Amino acid sequence: MKLDKAIKKPVDTMTGEDFWSIFFAYGADSKYMNLLDKMIAAKEEIKMAKELLQTISRDENERARFRARRKFQMDMEHSLIVARDEGEVAKATMIAKNLLEMDLPIEQISKATGLAREKIERLHKTE
């Protein structure tokens, strides 16, 4: 198993993936505190993650607040991505309509806008 090999490595030869894998697998295990202390000394992000984990592990209410904040952040990021993607499609559709009015071939419009040929054909029929 990869984690078994990673935990035996000297800290100065560990990859970022090794650090995080070990942290998430053994971060709360007192048997590995010495190793975790060495990892913390080597990588500031691990120290910050440990402090955050200790903070949110204090009580159930704090864990619930943390999960709610994280879910809100993820939902907002997702909404921004969806809105951006929808905006890009709307812009490409507007450009395709303009190119159709200029009588450009559908294949060229598809290449220029990135829209599927079928979508452009539907736009052409509605005009």
Residue 27 near residue 53 (C-beta atoms within 8 A):
yes
Residues 71 and 127 in one domain: yes
Judgement on whether residues 54 and 71 belong to the same structural domain of the protein: no
**Least reliable range by pLDDT among 47-56, 72-81, 98-107:** 47-56
Give the number of other Cβ atoms within 10 Å of residue 28's Cβ. 13
Q: Are residues 75 and 109 in the same domain?
A: yes
Asked whether the whole model's pTM tops 0.85, one would answer: no
Mean pLDDT to the nearest integer, 6-29: 86
Residues 19 and 12: their CA atoms lie apart, in Å, by 10
Report whether pLDDT(1) > 70.
Answer: no
Co-location of 23 and 74 in the same domain: no
Total count of domains within the chain: 2
74 and 124 co-located in one domain? yes
- The CA-based diameter of the chain, rounded to the nearest angstrom, is 73
Residue 94: is its pLDDT beyond 90?
yes
Q: Range of 94's domain?
A: 66-127
80 lies in the same domain as 96: yes
For the segment 99-123, what is each residue's pLDDT rounded down to a tens digit?
999 999 999 999 999 999 999 999 9
